[in-house]
Amino acid sequence: MARAVTTNRKIVNTAAAWAVGLLIFFPILWTILTSFKTEATAIADPPVFLFFDWTLENYAVVQERSNYARFLWNSVIIAGGSTILGLIIAIPAAWSMAFVPSRRTKDILLWMLSTKMLPAVGVLYPIYLLFIKMGLLDTRLGLVIVMMLINLPIIVWMLYTYFREIPGEILEAARMDGASLKEEIIHILTPMAVPGIASTLLLNFILAWNEAFWTLNLTAAKAAPLTAFIASYSSPEGLFYAKLSAASVMAIAPILIMGWFSQKQLVRGLTFGAVK
């Protein structure tokens, strides 16, 4: 029998949870609100919460001054490109590990994950040097390659965990019924693999979008994505709260929305299904 919950207790739970939730969300909320204020209202003392003249001016100024669209485009290309490239390389690998496992499969998987533990700062200079030699410094292609490599272990692992859950019996049953290999792939395997591939894509896009170490160190002007665009607001002379807020909202909004849609996958993806 389900536990009977009194209405009183539910009210207390609701109030407590909403209070904590709003407290944690507050910095984001405050940033959103500030982005619609004028600079004078943004630093008003005492602070103004909801009752001010809302303006869209900051967003226009941010775009005008720093060509937000180009940074956004760089972010999309780098995060999207590295994710797709990673998937192209990882899908066959994870597929074969899940369906044709050998004695060494587990060792290979663990080794792949161990490359993720390589501290970036320890290998920054070699990569920097190689990038200069190969003309990849401050190019989107260079960052696509780096992002793909740092996220590849996660992509392989996530896909492996998803693929392993596809039951082999269904395949065998289909074969018994006389399904050809083509029918098998189109009608049985693909529909079962697509959700896993989609959530892997989503999580990796988020990780690549927010990654800052490599983007800050390997880009300057041409290929800089939103992480670097925001970092340029850290200089004290260029500091305007309303504009900083507008820029921040423009940088995090796309990914925040994607993140909310993929929260369940996030748990699995980041713990490789170790927590259920």
Partner 1 sequence: MATQHSRSAARLMMAPAVVLLLGWMLVPLTMTLYFSFKKYLPLRGGDLGWAGLDNYVRFVTSSAFWPSVQATLLIVGGVLAITVVFGVLLAMLLDQPMWGQGIVRILVIAPFFVMPTVSALVWKNMFMDPVNGLFAHLWQFFGAQPVEWLSNASLTSIIMIVSWQWLPFATLILLTAIQSLDSEQLEAAEMDGAPALSRFRFIILPHLGRAITIVVLIQTIFLLSIFAEIFVTTQGSFGTRTLTYLIFQRVLESQNVGLGSAGGVYAIILANIVAIFLMRIVGKNLDA
- Asked if 258 touches partner 1 (CB under 8 A), the answer is yes
Kindly determine how many residues on this chain lie close enough to bind partner 1 according to the rule CB under 8 A. Answer: 97
Contact status: 158 vs partner 1 (CB under 8 A): no
The binder of partner 1 chosen from 5, 50, 176, 221 (CB under 8 A): 5
Measured from the CB atom, is 60 or 270 closer to partner 1?
270
Give the amino acid at 104.
R
CA distances from 213 to 5, 20, 120 (A): 48, 31, 8
In the region spanning residues 45 to 104, those forming contacts with partner 1, defined by CB under 8 A, are 45-47, 89-90, 92-93, 95-97, 99-102
Q: Does 185 bind partner 1 (CB under 8 A)?
A: no
Pick the piece of the chain touching partner 1 (CB under 8 A) from 5-13, 51-59, 175-183, 186-194: 5-13
Q: Looking at residues 118 to 147 of the shown chain, list those that interact with partner 1 (rule: CB under 8 A).
A: 118-130
Over 100-145, what HEC string results? Answer: CCCCCHHHHHHHHHHHCCCCHHHHHHHHHHHHHHHCCCCCHHHHHH
Cis peptide bond upstream of 153, omega within 30: no
Q: From the CB of 62, what's the least distance to partner 1, in Å?
A: 13
**Distances in whole angstroms, Cα of residue 10 to Cα of each of 3, 4, 14, 18, 22:** 12, 11, 6, 12, 18
173 forms part of the interface with partner 1 (CB under 8 A) = no
Among 197, 201, 218, 251, binds partner 1 (CB under 8 A): 251
Residue 252 contacts partner 1 per CB under 8 A:
yes
How far is CA 83 from each of CA 20, 207, 216, rounded to the nearest angstrom? 34, 10, 19
Structural element, H or E, at residue 96: helix 68-99
Residue nearer to partner 1 on the CB measure, 10 or 65: 10
